[in-house]
Structure 1
Amino acid sequence: MPDGVINPPVPQAMTLALPPAHGEEGDLRTILRSLRAGWRWLLAGWSAGLALAVIALWLVTPAYTATMVIGPMARIGAAATGSRVPVSSGRDSATGAESGAADESLSDFARYLELFGSGPVAEQLAREPDVLHALFPDRWDAGEGRWRPPPGPLPMAKRALLALVGRRDWVEPDGDRVERALRERLLIDMLRSGPMRRISFRHADRATAVDLLGRIAAATDAHLRSEAARRSAAQIAHIKLRLDAVTVAVHRQALSDLLLDQERVAMMIGVDLPYAADMLQPPAAGMLPDWPNPAAVVPLAGLVGLVAAGFALSARHALKEHGTGMERVP
């Protein structure tokens, strides 16, 4: 560049963090000083968070958590049901699942976990009035013996919004609503890295939580047992029908072996033991409600209020410094 020509000033990007001018402190010290000066705002934010948490805890109905521990049903051992898959020596026999990739095989226990409280199990539970009354107590009017919309400002606002778009809120629960309610309250956790699972269910009444969790488990196991019995009976009926039509001795012997295997399966399905899941720990709940936990909610709410107040003070200071920096630009 020729001598005597002064470099033009490079415009700086507009940011909230401005470089400190001569004799001024850095951004961090300035922010800390702003927070120290605004301690009243920090105290107000912390107090507001605590107050909101206390109000919310008074408004929310506490709930009990019922838990149970289950594992795959044993096939061998003193307390086992025995193998339900027919195994014959010296020849191939029918198996529980068709051959394919390893991830295509689905065990009875995996089906149990997938169907727990959902699908056909929820439909079956929806046919029991006491289960519906326990799951939706705010919609059941025991005095008049009928279902009603839930009271309160929030449900009324929801019904008003649905009415604006030409829809209406449901009144009498069905299987789909039961499945949604169970999905919101059920939690399945893995115990360590083994096959056992801990299943939790939350309800406002302790006895109801324990009873409903046991009912869901029994309904799921009964559904899988009935499906297995139905499939086995259909196969036995089909094999007997084919036996009446087949005359070749070799084919009749093969069908007789298959019939024997399926009758063994049907016999093991009928054993009066759990079909898919063994209950290692029956449903139980504590004597006191454990949700929500005030010891965790109140301090967390105070911390959130404190952080929100600190962020508001920092943003206010940054905007103020930004406005001062803009005024300095000629």
Structure 2
Amino acid sequence: MPDGVLTQPDAMTLRLPTKGGEGDLRGLVRLLRQGWRWLLTGCFGGIALAVCALWLVAPAYTATMVIGPTARVGSAAMGARVPTLSGRDSAAMAEPGAGDESLSDFARYLELFGSGPVADQLARDPGVLRALFPDRWDAESQRWHPPAGLIPAVKRTLLALVGRQDWVEPDGERVARALRDRLMIDMLRSGPMRRITLRHSDRATALDLLGRVAAATDAHLRAEAARRSAAQIAHIKERLGAITVAEHRQALSDLLLDQERVAMMIGVELPFAADMIQPPGAASLPDWPNPAVVVPLAGMAGLMAACFCLSARHALRDGRAGRDA
């Protein structure tokens, strides 16, 4: 045989081999036509499972709010809290740190939204706890009880076998975990604004809970800023009583003036870290899960599963036929 001549020319091409004059694609189409009952069964089976799941899952309302960084300028702004220019460039001392190390109040707001110290503060409110864990609160006995169901019972049993306890009354850590499962924060148009959504089975509770989390986060950051400003003012006043050099006293007086301006602006009854561009709102009807999306996807998934089972059955049958031959 001359060099360069292939014994199997189809091996180096994209052409599919044929069997009995029929290509692979035609064979697959013929197989699907013959197994149309399998396809219908899989499709309607997926739809039936989706309908049953929708009946079992409690529908939920999605409360939505849009926030953005607090405006410093404009008619609706609270103004700059930290003086940018003062006689001795004291702004750097009022807000220390290099530019790449600074953290804005809005970034702190997003990080603490419903977590950490904010969750601990929310855990002290009985209304928030009952809204987050309605299935664990017994209104008649006014007591908390372990979660019901087979899976929680099995979990408690397994932990009891190793000497551990699963159930404790809701605390800050459990509140943070529950909010983390329910909250979603999305960026709007690649800008500074954020859309925050929270799902709950009751519409009024979803709106109230989202508003409480936002108010608690802003109040925590305001209190922390006021604490830091008060500490710096007290320290400057203490140093002023011990310094007699006129230049040093003038520098400290400028710092004291700046910090008193900061403390005054912190006390203004306006949003501290985040402006509420769009207050919490929700649709009048439950919007999760959406049957218009779940049912067609379930039917498509059932159809694909039926195709896979039909192909696997045909391949196994051909394999057994080949071994028998």
TM-score (norm 2): 0.91
Superposed, 1:85-100 pairs within 5 Å as 85-95=82-92, 97-100=95-98
Cα 1:43–1:168 shift into 2, 3 Å: farther
Aligned 8 A contact 1:139 1:171 in 2: no
Of 43, 46, 49, the residue aligned with 1:49 is 46
The match for 2:224 is: 227
Deviation of residue 36 (structure 1)?
1.3
Aligned 8 A contact 1:190 1:198 in 2: yes
Cα 1:323–1:100 shift into 2, 3 Å: farther
Of 234, 253, 257, the residue aligned with 1:256 is 253
Cα 1:324–1:19 shift into 2, 3 Å: farther
Percent identity, please. 74
Aligned 8 A contact 2:87 2:254 in 1: no
Cα 1:139–1:226 shift into 2, 3 Å: same
Deviation of residue 189 (structure 1)?
1.1
Aligned 8 A contact 2:81 2:265 in 1: yes
Q: Which amino acid aligns with 1:257?
A: D
The match for 2:186 is: 189
Aligned 8 A contact 2:85 2:91 in 1: no
Deviation of residue 20 (structure 1)?
4.2
Q: Which amino acid aligns with 2:249?
A: R
Q: Which amino acid aligns with 1:249?
A: A
Deviation of residue 43 (structure 1)?
1.1
234-243 or 313-322, which deviates more: 313-322
Which structure 1 residue ranges, 5 or more long, are not aligned? 2-8, 11-17
Which structure 2 residue ranges, 5 or more long, are not aligned? 2-6, 9-15
Deviation of residue 90 (structure 1)?
4.9
Of 315, 320, 327, the residue aligned with 2:317 is 320
- Equivalent position SS for 1:71: strand
Of 254, 261, 268, the residue aligned with 2:265 is 268
Of 53, 63, 68, the residue aligned with 2:60 is 63
Query: Residue deviations 1:74-118, cap 9 Å, x none?
Result: 11222221111123345321336434352x221111111111111
The match for 2:4 is: none
The match for 2:141 is: 144
- Distance in 2 (alpha carbons) for counterparts of 1:326 and 1:160: 51
- Distance in 1 (alpha carbons) for counterparts of 2:192 and 2:227: 27
TM-score (norm 1): 0.89
